[in-house]
Structure 1
Amino acid sequence: MQIGPIREAIAEAASAVVMAVGTPKLRCYGYVPDDVKAPCFFVGEVDITFDKTFGRGTDELMFTCRVLVSAANDRAAQKTLDRLLSGSGEGSLKQAIETARGAAGEVALGGLADDLHIQRVQGYRWYEHAGSQYVGAELVIKVIGDGRT
């Protein structure tokens, strides 16, 4: 699997999220941006486990993604974050990203991987990015695919 195109495909899938009325569109990046304009989703760190099956059959990538919603510590920011972290609905990152899995038997992310799954949300807290503070959280996404490509 090629890491760069997978990062970009995850960000593209996340961009399908529908934000609540009055909330700016979610900006989505495959890489950590230098400057954050909230709300923002980006693919951050990646952990790689090679050779999950013999003969370079399957590799596993674990991406830690972040969603940062606001520099304000208010109820509206937390409500926005809660909506993005919900398990379903048009404002759910999980639903938007996992739609890129394709139908049963299809490859994920437009053929870049065999499958993906958002395993968990963690770190619902304040984040510092480029000297500014934001309310946010992390999403851990597992991607599996052919290690020979």
Structure 2
Amino acid sequence: MQISQVRSALADAARAVVLPAGVRKLTCSGFVPDAVTEPHFFVGEYQQTFDRAMRRGLDEIEFTCRVLVGRQDDRAAQELVDAMLSGSGSASLKAAMEAARGAPGEYALSGAAHDLHVTRSQGPRWYEHAGTQYVGAEMTVKVIGEGA
């Protein structure tokens, strides 16, 4: 697996989210941005486990992804985060990213990995990013793919 390619593909998958009427389209990046245009999803830190199968057959990477929302209205911001953390629905990040798993027998993330699974989320809470306060949440995405 090429980590940068996987990060970009995760951001592409998150772009499929459809937010409620009146909310700007979700902006997405596969890297930690200097500044965000909210609402914004990005792929942050990751932890990689090598050699889950012999001879570099399989690696596993757990990505921490974040979504940040403007806090002009605390309740509305938290409700938007709730919608994106939901397990299903048009605003669900889990549903959007897991749709990128591909059909049975196909590689995930347009060929960047063998498979992925959104394993958990936590939030909402306050985040400071580049000196600005946001309401946000984190998601953990486990990705497996060839190590060689």
Q: TM-score, normalised by structure 2?
A: 0.97
CA distance in 1, matches of 2:14, 2:132: 23
Q: Which runs of 5+ in 2 are unaligned?
A: none
Read off the aligned partner of 1:86 and give its amino acid letter: S
Q: CA deviation at 1:72?
A: 3.0
Alpha-carbon shift at residue 86 of structure 1 (Å): 0.4
- The one-letter code sitting in structure 1 at the alignment partner of 2:18 is V
Residue 73 of structure 1 deviates from its aligned partner by: 4.9
Partner of 1:84: 84
| RMSD, matched Cα | 0.9
In the other structure, the counterpart of 2:104 is 104
Q: What amino acid is aligned across from residue 110 of structure 1 in structure 2? A: S
* TM superposition score normalised by structure 1: 0.96
- Quote the Cα distance in structure 2 between the aligned partners of 1:19 and 1:59: 33
Give the counterpart letter for 1:135 in structure 2: V
Task: Number of aligned residue pairs: give it.
Answer: 148
**Corresponding residue for 2:6?**
6
The Cα shift of 1:47 comes to 0.6
**Residues 63-105 of structure 1 deviation map (CA, whole Å, 9 limit, x = unaligned):** 0000001133521111111111100011100000100000122
Identity %: 61
Mapped contact 2:41–2:65 kept (Cα < 8 A): yes
Which residue of structure 1 lines up, in the alignment, with residue 52 of structure 2? 52
Give deviations 1:22-79, integer Å, cap 9, x for gaps. Answer: 0000000000111112100000001110001111000001100000011335211111
Q: Which runs of 4+ in 1 moved over 2 A?
A: none
Instruction: Using the TM superposition, name which of 46-55 and 67-76 deviates more.
Output: 67-76
Q: Which structure 1 segments of 5+ residues have no match?
A: none
Per the alignment, residue 116 of structure 1 pairs with 116
Q: What residue in structure 2 maps to residue 146 of structure 1?
A: 146
Secondary structure, counterpart of 1:41 in structure 2: strand
Residue 41 of structure 1 contacts residue 65 of structure 1 at CA under 8 Å; is this kept in 2? yes
Q: For residue 94 of structure 1, what is the aligned residue in structure 2?
A: 94
- Distance in 2 separating the partners of 1:9 and 1:56: 22
